[in-house]
Amino acid sequence: MEPEIENQNRRCPRLGSPVPLSYCMKCNDNHRPCGKVIDCWWEFFDIKSYLEKNLSTEDFTELVNQKPQDKITSILELIEKAKNR
């Protein structure tokens, strides 16, 4: 990961605090990227090209093609993850 991009921060809408891209790239199950990584980072730089370059073809395709979750599903998943920590 390029250091200048890795160290860039943005406010996470889920956590309510700043997070670096390096966090977003590994915060999902099995250290995979957050499902909102494209939505959250497209205004800062060309995140799609970055993901295409840094993920396997399979992971990139899965991320780009995933269906957005409704808010209730996202919240329930976050609660479940918090319980397991």
Alpha carbon separation from 63 to 3, 16, 57, 68 (Å, rounded): 23, 23, 10, 10
Single out the residue of 8, 22, 32, 36 in contact with ligand SF4 (rule: CB under 6 A): 36
Write the CA distances from 49 to 41, 62, 71, 74, 75, integer angstroms. 12, 15, 27, 26, 29
Using CB under 6 A as the binding rule, whether residue 55 contacts ligand SF4 is answered as no
Closest approach of ligand SF4 to the CB of residue 5, in Å? 13
* Options 3, 4, 13, 84; binder of ligand SF4; rule CB under 6 A: 13
Which SS3 state, helix, strand or coil, does residue 85 take?
A: coil
Q: Which of the stretches 34-42, 47-55, 63-71, 74-82 binds ligand SF4 when contact is defined by CB under 6 A? A: 34-42
63 lines the binding site for ligand SF4 (CB under 6 A) = no
Chain center to CA of 77: 15
Contact residues: ligand SF4, CB under 6 A: 10, 12-15, 19, 24, 27, 34, 36-37, 40
